[in-house]
Structure formats: C-alpha cells, structure tokens
C-alpha cells in the first residue's frame, strides 16, 4: 500500500498556502498515492523525496493541475486550484524535468516569452531585458542572451530554465529536480534564492535524489511504497 509520510514539525492544519486533500493518483492502473494529505504553508520549503518511480513527479504534476487525480482536491488559499478566483496559475512557477525552452529561439527570446505570457501587457521590455542580463550574469552565463538555446551545454540550458524563477513574479515554486546537473556555485545560488523567496512568504516544493546541504528545509515529505 503506497503511502505518503510527512514529518512536518507543525501539526495544526490550517488552509493557507497549498493544501492537497485526500489525493489519490494512479498511473496506468498502478496506484501511486492513496488519500494523501499534503500541506505546504507560506514561507516554507518542502523537500519531496522518494525512489525512482514512486510518483514524485506525478504528485507534483497533480499539484500543478496538469494531471487529474483520481479523486481528491488541491486547494490554493482555501480555494480549489481550478476555481477562477484562486489565481493559482498566476502564482505558480512549475519547472519540470523537460526544460520547456524552444531550441529555435535565443535565450533572451525564450525568457522574454514566458515573462510576457505571465505578465500580459504589463511589463517594461527594457527593464525585462536588463533583468535577463542581470540573472544570466549571476548564473555565470552572461553574454549568451543572443545565442540559440540549442547551442548551449546541458548545464547551461538548465541554468536558463532556472533563470525564469527570477524573472516571473510568483508565490509558489514547484521544482522537479532543480539541483541536478548544476555546479557548486549555481547550487549555492539557487539555495540562496530559494531562501530569499521563502523570506518573502513563498511556498517551495522541490524533489531531489540527494540531500541538499546548502538548503535547510522546513518539511520533508517522502513518497514510499510499503
């Protein structure tokens, strides 16, 4: 029987932030989660662990609403995420395994596109381009704005995907294996930015195969099969 074990410090359940209630998820007849409860409060970092194939990614995709759970509901600030007033999708950045960047576009074009899509018309292109250069400099890939995404190395491509976190305003980050493929310096950078985001009241959920020393977490959640 699959189960979701939570080692949360705080036992009191209040609905602020992201709350998954009685979530049951199965993939091709195989039950991954059954009646799982998960609460991600504002200003917390949650580490989701588990072996390969236990359903970490499926759980995360359920939380994004991309994957329909068999039953159960995901709430964002006490409203179901699909509720038009929840504003969940404006608040959410989901970085998946696939980097979701187009090979045919330059780095700046890729990042600009997502920022534009999020902000609608209300953005300043000059500021955005300046922000992009700044983030790329922080990540150590400065000067590559005009390069095609396909021309970068795997690690550099991963950094570009992470740059989205800095360019789009959000309240919740769901990060699938964000630390994979990263060098020491970038791991530290990402950990620092995640803590900064938490300090602003952000909700973070990330998966990883190893413990990340640089990032102190508030809550550990394991997906395990008994």
Partner 1 sequence: MISTLLKRELKVARRNWIGLAIPLLFFIIVVSLFPFAVSPEALMLQKLAPGVIWVAALLSMLLSLEQFYRSDYQDGSLEQLLLMSSPTSVAISKIFAHWLLTGLPLVILSPLLGLLMQINYGFEHINHTWVLMLSLMLGTPTLCLLGAVGMSLTLAANRNGLLVSILIIPLYVPVLIFGASTVTASLESLRYNGELAILGAFLMIAIVFAPFASGRALKISVG
Question: Of the ranges 14-22, 96-104, 185-193, 202-210, which one interacts with partner 1 (CB under 8 A)?
Answer: 96-104
Query: Does the footprint of partner 1 cover residue 101 (CB under 8 A)?
Result: yes
Query: Does the footprint of partner 1 cover residue 198 (CB under 8 A)?
Result: no
- Are 47 and 216 in contact, with CB atoms under 8 Å apart? no
Beta carbons within 8 Å of 61's beta carbon, 6+ residues apart: 67, 96
Query: Does the footprint of partner 1 cover residue 207 (CB under 8 A)?
Result: no
Q: Is 24 exposed, middle or buried (0-12, 13-18, 19+ CB in 10 A)?
A: middle
For partner 1, the binding residue among 103, 124, 125, 133 (CB under 8 A) is: 103
Q: Give the pair of three-digit tokens for residue 46.
A: 């949650």
Query: 3-state DSSP call for residue 25?
Result: strand
Query: Does the footprint of partner 1 cover residue 102 (CB under 8 A)?
Result: yes
Residue 134: CB atoms within 10 Å? 14
Query: Does the footprint of partner 1 cover residue 145 (CB under 8 A)?
Result: no
For partner 1, the binding residue among 15, 21, 24, 105 (CB under 8 A) is: 105
Question: Of the ranges 15-23, 45-53, 105-113, 193-201, which one interacts with partner 1 (CB under 8 A)?
Answer: 105-113
Q: Give the pair of three-digit tokens for residue 49.
A: 């662990």
- Are 109 and 122 in contact, with CB atoms under 8 Å apart? no
Query: Does the footprint of partner 1 cover residue 114 (CB under 8 A)?
Result: yes
Q: Give the pair of three-digit tokens for residue 48.
A: 């989701």
For partner 1, the binding residue among 5, 100, 124, 125 (CB under 8 A) is: 100
**Chain positions contacting partner 1, by CB under 8 A:** 61, 64-68, 89, 92, 94, 96-105, 109, 113-114, 116-118, 120, 148
């Amino acid at each position: 029987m699959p189960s979701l074990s939570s080692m949360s410090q705080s036992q009191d359940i209040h609905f602020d932030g992201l709350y998954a209630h009685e979530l049951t998820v199965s993939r091709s007849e195989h039950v991954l989660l059954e009646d799982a409860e998960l609460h991600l409060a504002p200003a917390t970092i949650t580490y989701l662990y588990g072996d390969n194939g236990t359903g970490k990614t499926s759980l995360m995709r359920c939380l994004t609403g991309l994957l329909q759970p068999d039953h159960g509901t995901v709430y964002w600030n006490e409203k179901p995420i699909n509720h038009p007033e929840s504003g969940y999708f404006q608040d959410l950045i989901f970085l998946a395994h696939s980097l979701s960047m187009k090979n045919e576009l330059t780095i700046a074009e890729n990042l600009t596109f997502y920022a534009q899509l999020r902000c609608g018309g209300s953005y300043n292109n000059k500021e955005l381009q300046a922000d992009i250069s700044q983030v790329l400099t922080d990540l150590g890939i400065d000067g590559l704005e005009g390069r095609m995404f396909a021309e970068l190395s795997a690690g550099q491509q991963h950094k570009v995907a992470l740059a989205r976190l800095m360019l789009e305003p959000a309240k919740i980050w769901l990060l699938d294996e964000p630390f994979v493929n990263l060098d020491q310096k970038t791991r530290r950078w990402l950990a620092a930015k995640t803590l900064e985001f938490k300090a602003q009241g952000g909700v973070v959920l990330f998966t990883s195969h190893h413990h990340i020393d640089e990032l102190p977490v508030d809550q550990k959640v394991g997906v395990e099969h008994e």
